[in-house]
Structure 1
Amino acid sequence: MHLRNRHGKIVDGVPFYVVASLAFMFVISLGPFYGSLFGLSIEAGVVASLVVSFVCGCLAFYRFVWTVDPEFRGEIPVDVRFRNLGYAAITFFLLLVLLLIPVIPIVTAAP
Protein backbone atom coordinates (compact mmCIF):
# COMPACT_ATOMS: atom_id res chain seq x y z
CA MET A 1 0.00 0.00 0.00
CA HIS A 2 1.49 3.30 -1.09
CA LEU A 3 0.81 6.22 1.20
CA ARG A 4 0.50 9.66 -0.36
CA ASN A 5 0.98 13.05 1.25
CA ARG A 6 -1.28 16.06 0.79
CA HIS A 7 0.35 16.83 -2.56
CA GLY A 8 -0.21 13.31 -3.92
CA LYS A 9 3.45 12.25 -3.75
CA ILE A 10 4.28 8.75 -2.55
CA VAL A 11 5.74 8.72 0.97
CA ASP A 12 7.64 6.03 2.86
CA GLY A 13 5.09 4.56 5.26
CA VAL A 14 7.46 2.71 7.60
CA PRO A 15 7.87 5.51 10.19
CA PHE A 16 4.09 5.91 10.35
CA TYR A 17 3.51 2.18 10.75
CA VAL A 18 6.16 1.88 13.47
CA VAL A 19 4.94 4.85 15.51
CA ALA A 20 1.25 3.98 15.15
CA SER A 21 1.77 0.31 16.05
CA LEU A 22 3.98 1.13 19.06
CA ALA A 23 1.42 3.66 20.29
CA PHE A 24 -1.35 1.09 19.83
CA MET A 25 0.63 -1.57 21.70
CA PHE A 26 1.59 0.78 24.53
CA VAL A 27 -1.86 2.31 25.03
CA ILE A 28 -3.85 -0.92 24.72
CA SER A 29 -1.57 -2.79 27.10
CA LEU A 30 -1.49 -0.14 29.85
CA GLY A 31 -4.72 1.81 29.32
CA PRO A 32 -7.27 -0.53 30.96
CA PHE A 33 -5.03 -1.01 34.00
CA TYR A 34 -4.59 2.72 34.56
CA GLY A 35 -8.26 3.27 33.85
CA SER A 36 -9.11 0.82 36.63
CA LEU A 37 -6.79 2.72 38.98
CA PHE A 38 -8.87 5.82 38.37
CA GLY A 39 -12.19 4.05 38.86
CA LEU A 40 -13.12 3.08 35.30
CA SER A 41 -14.42 -0.35 34.49
CA ILE A 42 -12.31 -2.61 32.29
CA GLU A 43 -14.74 -2.13 29.39
CA ALA A 44 -14.56 1.65 29.67
CA GLY A 45 -10.76 1.43 29.95
CA VAL A 46 -10.55 -0.63 26.76
CA VAL A 47 -12.83 1.79 24.90
CA ALA A 48 -10.86 4.79 26.15
CA SER A 49 -7.62 3.05 25.17
CA LEU A 50 -8.94 2.41 21.68
CA VAL A 51 -9.94 6.06 21.34
CA VAL A 52 -6.53 7.27 22.53
CA SER A 53 -4.84 4.77 20.23
CA PHE A 54 -6.89 6.04 17.27
CA VAL A 55 -5.92 9.64 18.10
CA CYS A 56 -2.24 8.63 18.31
CA GLY A 57 -2.56 6.92 14.92
CA CYS A 58 -4.13 10.05 13.42
CA LEU A 59 -1.36 12.24 14.83
CA ALA A 60 1.29 9.85 13.50
CA PHE A 61 -0.36 9.89 10.07
CA TYR A 62 -0.42 13.68 10.06
CA ARG A 63 3.21 13.94 11.14
CA PHE A 64 4.81 11.12 9.12
CA VAL A 65 2.64 11.00 5.99
CA TRP A 66 0.41 14.00 5.41
CA THR A 67 2.91 16.84 6.02
CA VAL A 68 6.16 15.16 4.93
CA ASP A 69 7.94 16.21 1.76
CA PRO A 70 9.77 13.22 0.24
CA GLU A 71 12.02 15.46 -1.85
CA PHE A 72 13.41 17.18 1.23
CA ARG A 73 15.72 14.42 2.29
CA GLY A 74 19.20 14.98 3.47
CA GLU A 75 21.54 13.63 6.03
CA ILE A 76 20.99 14.96 9.51
CA PRO A 77 24.21 16.00 11.26
CA VAL A 78 25.46 13.76 14.05
CA ASP A 79 25.12 16.38 16.78
CA VAL A 80 21.47 16.96 15.89
CA ARG A 81 20.74 13.22 15.90
CA PHE A 82 22.51 12.79 19.24
CA ARG A 83 20.61 15.72 20.76
CA ASN A 84 17.29 14.30 19.51
CA LEU A 85 18.19 10.91 20.96
CA GLY A 86 18.91 12.58 24.31
CA TYR A 87 15.57 14.39 24.20
CA ALA A 88 13.82 11.13 23.40
CA ALA A 89 15.53 9.36 26.32
CA ILE A 90 14.60 12.14 28.75
CA THR A 91 11.01 12.16 27.48
CA PHE A 92 10.75 8.38 27.82
CA PHE A 93 12.11 8.53 31.38
CA LEU A 94 9.65 11.27 32.36
CA LEU A 95 6.81 9.30 30.80
CA LEU A 96 7.74 6.25 32.88
CA VAL A 97 7.87 8.37 36.04
CA LEU A 98 4.49 9.85 35.16
CA LEU A 99 3.06 6.35 34.67
CA LEU A 100 4.40 5.25 38.07
CA ILE A 101 2.72 8.06 40.04
CA PRO A 102 -0.74 6.37 40.28
CA VAL A 103 0.85 3.05 41.30
CA ILE A 104 2.83 4.44 44.27
CA PRO A 105 -0.12 4.47 46.75
CA ILE A 106 -0.90 0.85 45.87
CA VAL A 107 2.69 -0.28 46.43
CA THR A 108 3.11 1.59 49.72
CA ALA A 109 -0.23 0.31 51.09
CA ALA A 110 0.70 -3.35 50.56
CA PRO A 111 1.48 -5.26 53.78
Structure 2
Amino acid sequence: MWRNGPRNRRGDPIDPVPFLVSLGLVFMLVFSFGPIYGFSYGLSLAWSLAASTVAFCLLGAVAYAQFVRSAPSVDAGPLPPGPRFERLLYAALAFGIVLGALTVPLVV
Protein backbone atom coordinates (compact mmCIF):
# COMPACT_ATOMS: atom_id res chain seq x y z
CA MET A 1 0.00 0.00 0.00
CA TRP A 2 2.73 2.48 0.96
CA ARG A 3 5.49 0.83 -1.04
CA ASN A 4 6.08 3.99 -3.09
CA GLY A 5 4.76 6.34 -0.42
CA PRO A 6 1.23 7.05 0.73
CA ARG A 7 -1.37 7.92 -1.87
CA ASN A 8 -4.70 9.67 -1.66
CA ARG A 9 -7.95 8.20 -2.96
CA ARG A 10 -7.14 9.35 -6.50
CA GLY A 11 -3.80 7.50 -6.41
CA ASP A 12 -1.65 10.65 -6.29
CA PRO A 13 1.38 10.63 -3.96
CA ILE A 14 1.02 12.77 -0.84
CA ASP A 15 3.19 14.06 1.99
CA PRO A 16 2.76 11.77 5.04
CA VAL A 17 4.22 14.22 7.59
CA PRO A 18 0.94 15.97 8.59
CA PHE A 19 -0.70 12.60 9.23
CA LEU A 20 2.23 11.30 11.28
CA VAL A 21 2.46 14.49 13.35
CA SER A 22 -1.28 14.51 14.07
CA LEU A 23 -1.19 10.81 14.94
CA GLY A 24 1.65 11.45 17.38
CA LEU A 25 -0.26 14.32 19.01
CA VAL A 26 -3.38 12.18 19.29
CA PHE A 27 -1.36 9.39 20.90
CA MET A 28 0.21 11.81 23.37
CA LEU A 29 -3.09 13.40 24.39
CA VAL A 30 -5.19 10.24 24.55
CA PHE A 31 -2.73 8.20 26.57
CA SER A 32 -1.84 11.16 28.81
CA PHE A 33 -5.38 12.13 29.75
CA GLY A 34 -7.31 8.90 29.13
CA PRO A 35 -6.12 6.83 32.09
CA ILE A 36 -6.42 9.83 34.43
CA TYR A 37 -10.04 10.33 33.42
CA GLY A 38 -10.66 6.60 33.66
CA PHE A 39 -9.39 6.56 37.24
CA SER A 40 -11.46 9.62 38.15
CA TYR A 41 -14.60 7.88 36.85
CA GLY A 42 -13.82 4.68 38.78
CA LEU A 43 -12.44 2.50 35.98
CA SER A 44 -9.55 0.12 36.48
CA LEU A 45 -6.24 0.59 34.71
CA ALA A 46 -7.08 -2.09 32.15
CA TRP A 47 -10.42 -0.49 31.25
CA SER A 48 -8.88 2.99 31.16
CA LEU A 49 -6.17 1.84 28.77
CA ALA A 50 -8.72 -0.06 26.66
CA ALA A 51 -10.90 3.05 26.37
CA SER A 52 -7.83 5.14 25.50
CA THR A 53 -6.86 2.63 22.82
CA VAL A 54 -10.34 2.74 21.29
CA ALA A 55 -10.28 6.55 21.32
CA PHE A 56 -6.81 6.53 19.71
CA CYS A 57 -7.95 4.15 16.96
CA LEU A 58 -11.04 6.23 16.21
CA LEU A 59 -9.14 9.52 16.12
CA GLY A 60 -6.39 7.88 14.06
CA ALA A 61 -8.99 6.78 11.51
CA VAL A 62 -10.32 10.35 11.35
CA ALA A 63 -6.78 11.69 10.86
CA TYR A 64 -6.12 9.12 8.12
CA ALA A 65 -9.30 10.11 6.30
CA GLN A 66 -8.46 13.80 6.59
CA PHE A 67 -4.71 13.82 5.94
CA VAL A 68 -4.19 10.83 3.64
CA ARG A 69 -7.37 9.85 1.83
CA SER A 70 -8.59 13.37 1.03
CA ALA A 71 -5.19 15.10 0.79
CA PRO A 72 -4.19 16.99 -2.35
CA SER A 73 -1.29 15.55 -4.30
CA VAL A 74 2.26 16.82 -3.82
CA ASP A 75 2.21 18.15 -7.39
CA ALA A 76 -0.79 20.39 -6.63
CA GLY A 77 1.51 23.09 -5.29
CA PRO A 78 1.28 25.02 -2.05
CA LEU A 79 -1.90 26.53 -0.73
CA PRO A 80 -2.15 30.32 -0.82
CA PRO A 81 -1.13 32.00 2.46
CA GLY A 82 -4.68 33.10 3.38
CA PRO A 83 -6.25 29.64 3.73
CA ARG A 84 -3.08 28.25 5.33
CA PHE A 85 -3.15 30.93 8.05
CA GLU A 86 -6.88 30.41 8.56
CA ARG A 87 -6.39 26.64 8.99
CA LEU A 88 -3.54 27.20 11.41
CA LEU A 89 -5.61 29.66 13.44
CA TYR A 90 -8.57 27.27 13.65
CA ALA A 91 -6.29 24.37 14.60
CA ALA A 92 -4.63 26.42 17.35
CA LEU A 93 -8.01 27.51 18.72
CA ALA A 94 -9.35 23.96 18.66
CA PHE A 95 -6.21 22.64 20.38
CA GLY A 96 -6.52 25.29 23.10
CA ILE A 97 -10.19 24.49 23.64
CA VAL A 98 -9.45 20.77 23.88
CA LEU A 99 -6.67 21.32 26.41
CA GLY A 100 -8.89 23.66 28.43
CA ALA A 101 -11.78 21.23 28.34
CA LEU A 102 -9.54 18.39 29.47
CA THR A 103 -8.47 20.26 32.59
CA VAL A 104 -11.89 21.54 33.71
CA PRO A 105 -13.43 18.29 35.06
CA LEU A 106 -10.34 17.49 37.14
CA VAL A 107 -10.49 20.87 38.91
CA VAL A 108 -14.17 20.75 39.85
Pick closer, same or farther for the CA change 1:88–1:73 going to 2, 3 Å.
same
> What is the distance in 1 between the residues matched to 2:13 and 2:75?
13
Is 1:32 matched with 2:26?
Answer: no
Taking every aligned residue pair, what percent have the same amino acid on both sides? 38
Q: 1:53 corresponds to which letter in structure 2?
A: F
User: Out of 57, 76, 84, which is 2:87 matched to?
Assistant: 84
Matches within 5 A, 1:1-111: 1=2, 2-70=5-73, 73-105=76-108
**Structure 2: gaps (5+ residues):** none
**Number of residue pairs aligned between Structure 1 and Structure 2:** 105
Runs of 4+ aligned structure 1 residues displaced above 4 Å come to: none
The Cα of 1:98 is off from its aligned counterpart by 0.8
Gaps of 5+ in 1: 106-111
Structure showing greater Rg: 1
TM-aligned CA deviation for residue 4 of structure 1: 1.9
Instruction: Judge conservation of contact 1:37–1:102 (CA < 8 Å) in 2.
Output: no
Kept in 2: contact 1:16–1:60 (CA 8 A): yes
Separation in structure 2 between the aligned mates of residue 45 and residue 38 of structure 1, nearest angstrom: 9
Task: Give CA deviations for 1:62-97 in whole Å, capped at 9, x if unaligned.
Answer: 111112230673433334333333322322222122
Provide the TM-score with structure 1 as the length reference: 0.79
